[in-house]
Amino acid sequence: MKQLERLNTIGEELSRIDDALALLALGSVGCELDRMDQYSDLDFFVICKEGTKNRFLNHLNWLENIHPLVFTFRNTKDGYKALYEDNIFCEFAIFEPQELENIEFSRGRIVWKREEFDASLCDGTMTEYKKKENIDFFINEALTNLYIGLGRYHRGENLSAYYFIQVYAFDRILHLMTTIEQPTDSKGDLFVLNRRFEQRYPESSKTISNLLLGYDEIVKGAKNCLEFLDEQFAINQGIKSRIEALISEGEINE
């Protein structure tokens, strides 16, 4: 596919620069090539010699010499998002070797490296989801998010209520779903749980549309989230009753 061809070309361009050490591909263009498709981005690290990082960050000619760029955006202190004229989208970071041990990243695929570069530096540091809190944490976080969100709703702060219920509480519920159903495969995104969730948790995914109802159905969304938590887990009855009261009050006023 053209994404892999572009990566190889980037590697060739870097090989002509003395300060470049390696090109590490990540995600679907890295070690998970079986899920790459026409919508896949180019996620990669460029590893360079110590003291030369700014040369790669401040001058993107090594990227643009290959094909014209129509958009660049420095989204972190280490890297960019960029779009080529032919719609290949890139998200990349520049690191010096000594920095790799202090950042979290999943195992990637070395596209190019200098012979003297230590490939073991690219083995990755992430082997499981970053959030390691226990089930009780996610249950009680979800409940408190629902409670706070409904309070915001009754104050007329609907947008804040939406975030607490449909974003924060739902995120906790999503983590809880992974404790109910075994994933169909082990290829989850180590940084973002919702990536490929439908493919990995097909049964749990069937309930999502009942929980995410949108800005105009905040109270009903909260009610459905609470019912899900109550059906699947043992939840604290004290806060449950107070959430139910806020829901009932909201249903009357709607």
Q: Domain for residue 39, yes or no?
A: yes
Distance CA 226, CA 221 (A): 9
Q: What CA–CA distance (Å, rounded) separates 131 from 30?
A: 23
The encoded tokens of residue 51 equal: 């003291």
pLDDT of residue 124: 67
Q: What is the pLDDT of residues 35-94, one digit of tens each?
A: 788 878 899 999 999 999 999 999 999 999 999 999 999 999 999 999 999 999 999 999
pLDDT score recorded for residue 106: 77
pLDDT of 130 above 80: no
Q: Name the token pair of 142.
A: 């979800």
Question: Are both 7 and 116 inside the same structural domain?
Answer: yes
Domain membership of residue 129 (yes or no) is: no
Q: Are residues 103 and 147 in the same domain?
A: no
How far is it, in rounded angstroms, from Cα 67 to Cα 88? Answer: 10
Structural domain count, the chain = 2
Residue 132 pLDDT > 50, yes or no? no
Residue pair 110/24 in contact by the 8 Å Cβ criterion: yes
Of 65, 98, 122, the position where a domain reaches its end is 122
What CATH number should be reported for the domain holding residue 47?
3.30.460.10
pTM as predicted: 0.67
Domain range for residue 239? 135-253
Tell which of 122, 148, 180 closes a domain: 122
Residue 78, in any domain of the structure: yes
Give percent above pLDDT 70 in the chain. Answer: 92
Residue 171 counted as domain residue: yes
Is pLDDT of 34 > 50? yes
Do 9 and 69 share a domain, yes or no?
yes
Decide if 127 is inside a domain: no
pLDDT band, residue 187 (cuts 50/70/90): low
For residues 82 and 151, membership in a common domain is answered with no
Same domain? 99 vs 173: no
Give yes or no for a contact between 44 and 56, defined as CB atoms under 8 angstroms apart. no
Please indicate, yes or no, whether residues 117 and 153 belong to a single structural domain of this protein.
Answer: no
Buried b (16+ CB within 10 A) or exposed e, 88-107: bebbbbbbbbebbeeeebbb
Q: In this structure, are 80 and 116 located in the same domain?
A: yes
The per-residue pLDDT of the chain, averaged, comes to 89
Tell whether 97 and 168 lie within a shared domain.
no
Helix (H) or strand (E) holding 4, with range, is helix 2-15
Return the CATH number at 209.
1.20.120
